[in-house]
Amino acid sequence: MAALRSHRRATALAVTAAVLLLGAACGKSDTKGASGSTTSTAKAGGVVADGPVVIQAGINDPAQRAVAVLQYMPAKATVAVGQTVRWTWDGTSEPHSVTFFPPGQSAPSPPGSDPTLFAPTPATGLYDGSTLVNSGLAPQGPGAVPPFEVAFAKPGSYGYSCVIHPQMMGTITVVPVGQAAETAAAVKTRGDQEKGQWLAEGNQALQKLQSAVPVGTKNSTGTTNWKIEMGASTPHTDILAFAPVPANLKHGDKVTFVNNSGAPHTASFFNKQPPIESPSDPAIDKAAPGPSPQTLNSTDLFNTGTLPPDAPPGAGPPEAARSFTFAVPTAGDYQYLCIYHSPSGMAGVIKAS
Ligand SMILES: [Cu+2]
């Protein structure tokens, strides 16, 4: 951590293209020597750099991992030519990219449909907006994510987005050296304010989802059809939880998972089968052992396949295409999870008596 901090200070003070290149490399490896290279305040065109402007790419609420903010915090920042902007992924379990498209290229539609953008394309020197510059998707798997840094060659407005979350959009406004750029501290303060606002928005939606009365429809045979929501979405967050949990579910009942959220989800029961772990595994999309409805047991693989989001909200595919029903013939506990969002703890258990 100490080495990382001194590295941060070193790159904060360094604003030449040469050092930016070093900064990019620093993301991948420790650079203990870098702190020694700039012991006094470096200047670019006479302006004192007060440190890199830091922007948070998404976050999960540390107290409620199910609340995932899908925003850059802050979404906007004004920096001077040559100033380093650094994006961090600290605290997010959901993958995001920071992607600047050149003129003539735009974000993939549908989101996530271009896997070539999951890999990084770093900037080479100061960025002038004419090429693709892309952090790639991160995090991918456990482990720390190195920050992503860009510094800009000329004044202008530089929009960027996440290749899988279209609601994540940011703008860096670049002004000439000597004009009113924001301090790193001011950007951090605004980022923290936005973070607080979006976390509150998400927690409110989580509470609403979890405190809803479970929907159960009685059949003429005396059994019940239960409905479980696969998450929820707000303008700035995804709620990554299965809720509400049916109380008093009996064997013979049915459970219908429905995706009314803005993200794709699965409900996947691995039982004694090997789990599907990677969202890029084609098996994630495939309903197993076949299309809805299915009858659960405690041995086989059951997977809804990818149930598409209701996107745009209220105007997505018909509810039947976003739903999957399981019959629960035997008492027991049936564990399941969402393959996409299990890193955020999106999992549940059907308890049948
Ligand atoms: Cu999910």
Q: How far is the CA of 239 from the centre of ligand 1 (A)?
A: 9
Q: Note down pLDDT in tens along the chain; length 353 residues.
A: 333 333 333 333 333 333 333 333 333 333 333 333 333 333 444 444 568 999 999 999 999 999 999 999 999 999 999 999 999 999 999 999 999 999 999 999 888 889 999 999 999 999 999 999 999 999 987 788 999 999 999 999 999 999 999 999 999 999 999 999 999 999 999 999 999 999 999 999 999 999 998 889 998 989 999 999 999 999 999 999 999 999 889 999 999 999 999 999 999 999 999 999 888 888 999 999 999 999 999 999 999 999 999 988 889 999 999 999 999 999 999 999 999 999 999 999 999 99
Give the Cα separation of 135 and 47 in Å (integer).
28
Q: How far is the CA of 178 from the centre of ligand 1 (A)?
A: 46
Q: How far is the CA of 253 from the centre of ligand 1 (A)?
A: 24
Q: How far is the CA of 263 from the centre of ligand 1 (A)?
A: 7
pTM recorded for the entire structure? 0.82
> Does CATH place domain 212-352 in 3.10.450.50?
no
Q: How far is the CA of 5 from the centre of ligand 1 (A)?
A: 35
**How many secondary structure helices (H) and strands (E) does the chain include?**
3, 21
Q: How far is the CA of 38 from the centre of ligand 1 (A)?
A: 46
Give the Cα separation of 174 and 177 in Å (integer).
9
- Alpha helices, DSSP H only, in the chain? 2-13, 17-26, 184-211
Are 218 and 253 a contacting pair, CB within 8 Å? no
Strands 169-175 and 76-80: parallel
Q: How far is the CA of 335 from the centre of ligand 1 (A)?
A: 15
Q: How far is the CA of 343 from the centre of ligand 1 (A)?
A: 10
Q: How far is the CA of 334 from the centre of ligand 1 (A)?
A: 17
Q: How far is the CA of 244 from the centre of ligand 1 (A)?
A: 15
> 211: burial class by Cβ within 10 Å (0-12, 13-18, 19+)?
exposed
Domain chopping of the chain, boundaries:
2-206, 212-352
Contacts of 35 (CB under 8 A, 6+ apart): 6, 7, 9, 10
Q: How far is the CA of 187 from the centre of ligand 1 (A)?
A: 31
Q: How far is the CA of 190 from the centre of ligand 1 (A)?
A: 29
Q: How far is the CA of 345 from the centre of ligand 1 (A)?
A: 9
Q: Are both 2-206 and 212-352 of the same fold?
A: yes
Are 52 and 146 a contacting pair, CB within 8 Å? no
Domain topology for 2-206 = Immunoglobulin-like (2.60.40)
Q: What is the dihedral of CA 331, 230, 117, 64, to 10 degrees?
A: -90
